Each structure stands twice: as structure tokens, then as C-alpha cells.
Structure 1
């Protein structure tokens, strides 16, 4: 039985922090594989800045050479109304029935789920396992204890909290702003992705 982490994000663009956090999570949680899952531009709650094709191409380039990293365009192919993390995890559990599936997310998303802001929040927490990465200013234990949705599923196995060393706040939005203003975020993204961004004049 393998342990697989599902790492969903806009990846707009994918950054070195995405790769670093995925690598650290894989090492600390003994994951056999991390699946990078770019979200779809058809999602109504996301405003993306480049096409699905460009984001997908950069994810593939970024993870090249790491045999633990794979990419999956499952959500990119769905109609917007069909996209929900609950359904996505149901898909991957059916695809890998013999394996243990974890959803990798930041503590900020844990807060949103705990407040019932996601589709099927209760079922999502009750039926799945999560690796939660620290975010500055968020106490994950407090967040779990204050939310009935989270607290009632805190059985010692649902949440794997990583509270040290993963709170680096360099975001895709910061990189987009740098590129838009003529800044130089070269070493914040993989070198091949940086070249791709420049060649295709993305985010300018």
C-alpha cells in the first residue's frame, strides 16, 4: 500500500516554494508520491491569470526529474459545476483503491473548511485524511478545537499537522506582482519555468 498526497493549487505560476513544501511533506509524512493537481480555470471561485495550458506546461517542467512527483489534469478537464474537493478525493480513492490518500493543504484552508465554506465540508472531513501545513498567525490546534466540523473528526488520524518550517510566505501572487511591475523573481520559480514565462510574456 502506497501513501499518496494530493497537492491541489492554482499553480499560477508554480513556485520553488510549492516544490519545497511538497518535498518536505513527502519526506516528513513518508509519502510515496505527491500528485500536483492544478485547479481548473472554470472554477467560479478562482480568478486565474494565464491559461490552463500554460499552467499545466509549467507544472510538468517544474516536477521533471523527481520520481516522487507526478501531475494530474483531472480537475482541469471538469466542468466548473462538477469541481469540489470532496468529489476529487472520491475520484482518487477509486483510482488508487489499495493506497492511502491524503489531501495536502495550508492551515488557511483548514479554517475555511472548519467554517463550512467548502462544498460538503462535513463529509469531506469525515471521509478523508489531511496533511495540514502551518501558516503564519494560525494556531491549527485551536482551529480544530473551535470548529464542530473539525473537532468531531479529530481521531488522531484525520489530521497530520506540520507546524514547523513550512510557513514561508512567498506566494504566486507576489511573483505575479513582481513580473507585472518589472521586478526580478527569477530565483523564486524553477529556472525552466522562468524561461517559459519570459518567452511567452506571461504576467507582464
Structure 2
């Protein structure tokens, strides 16, 4: 039985923090694989700055050479109104029936699920396992105890809470803003992705 982490994000663009987070989770949680799952550009709550093709190309560049990292375009191919993390995890559990599937997310998303803001929030929590990364200013244990949705599923196995031990919160939006304003975010992403953005004049 393998342990697989599903790491969903816009990856607009993918950054060194994404890679460092995935590597930290894989090491701490003894994952055999981390699947990078770029979200659909068709989602009504998301607005992408570049095409799916560019996002996908940079993800592949960024994870090349790491045997534990793979990418999957499952959500990219879905109609925006049909996407729900609950259904996505069902898909991966059916695809890897003999493996243990974890959804990797930040503590800010845990708060949203606990408040019932996600589709099928209760079923999502009751039927899946989560690796939750700390975010500045969020007490993860308190968030679980305050939410009936979360605390009633807290059996000691549902949530694996991780404090990375180092605050690295540089976001994709910060990088986009730097490019837009003529900044120099070169060392916040893999060299190949930086060169790709420059060559294709993205985020201008």
C-alpha cells in the first residue's frame, strides 16, 4: 500500500514554496508520491492570469527530476460547475483503490471547510484524510474543536497537522505582481519556470 498526497492549487505560477511544501509533507508524512493537481480555469470562483497550457508546462518543468512528484490534469479537464474536492478525492480513491489517499491543504482551507463553505463539507471530512499545513495566525487545534463538522471526524487519523517550522508564505500572487511591475522574483521559483515566463512574456 502506497501513501499518496493530492496537492491542489492554482499554480499560477508554481513557486519554490509549493515545491518546498510538497517535499516537507512527503518527508514528514512518509508519502510515496505527491500529485500536483492544478485547478480548473473554468471554476467560477477562480480567475487565472495565464492559460492552462502555460500553467501545466511550468508544473512539469518544476517537478522534473523528483521521482516522488507527478502532475495530474484531472480537474483541469472538468467543467467548472461540476468540480468539488469531494468528487476529486473519490476519483483518486477509485483510481488507486489499494493506496492511502491524503488531501494536502493549508489551515486557511480547513477553516472554510469547518464553516461548511465547501461542497459536501461534512461528507468530505467524514470520508477522507487530510494533511494540514500551518498558516500564520491560525490555531489548527482550536479550529477543529470549534467546528462540529471537524471535531466529530477527529478520530486521530483524519487530520495530520504539520507546522513546517519555517514561515514561507510567498504567494503566486506576489510573484505575478512583481512581474507586472517590472520586479525581480527570479529566486522564488525554479530557474526554468522563470526563463519560461520571460520567454513567453507572461504576467505582463
**Distance of 1:202 and 1:51 partners within structure 2:** 10
**Distance of 1:70 and 1:165 partners within structure 2:** 25
**Distance of 2:160 and 2:168 partners within structure 1:** 19
**Distance of 1:88 and 1:120 partners within structure 2:** 12
**Distance of 2:26 and 2:75 partners within structure 1:** 22
Structure 2 counterpart of 1:32? 32
Structure 2 counterpart of 1:94? 94
Structure 2 counterpart of 1:125? 125
Structure 2 counterpart of 1:81? 81
Give the TM-score normalised by structure 1: 0.99
Deviation at 1:164, TM superposition (A): 3.7
Give the TM-score normalised by structure 2: 0.99
Deviation at 1:82, TM superposition (A): 1.3
Q: Determine helix, strand or coil for the equivalent of 1:98.
A: coil
| Unpaired runs of at least 5, structure 2 | none
Q: Cα RMSD between the aligned structures? A: 0.7
Structure 1 counterpart of 2:72? 72
Q: How many residues align?
A: 204
Q: Determine helix, strand or coil for the equivalent of 1:61.
A: helix
Residues 164, 56 of structure 1: alpha-carbon distance in 2 compared, 3 angstrom cutoff: closer
| Unpaired runs of at least 5, structure 1 | none
Deviation at 1:166, TM superposition (A): 5.2
Structure 2 counterpart of 1:136? 136
Structure 1 counterpart of 2:151? 151
Q: Determine helix, strand or coil for the equivalent of 1:50.
A: coil
**Distance of 2:7 and 2:24 partners within structure 1:** 13
**Distance of 1:17 and 1:195 partners within structure 2:** 18
**Distance of 2:98 and 2:159 partners within structure 1:** 20
Structure 1 counterpart of 2:185? 185
**Distance of 2:112 and 2:202 partners within structure 1:** 30
2:17 and 2:188 in contact (8 A); partners too? yes
1:161 maps to 2:189 = no
1:126 and 1:153 in contact (8 A); partners too? yes
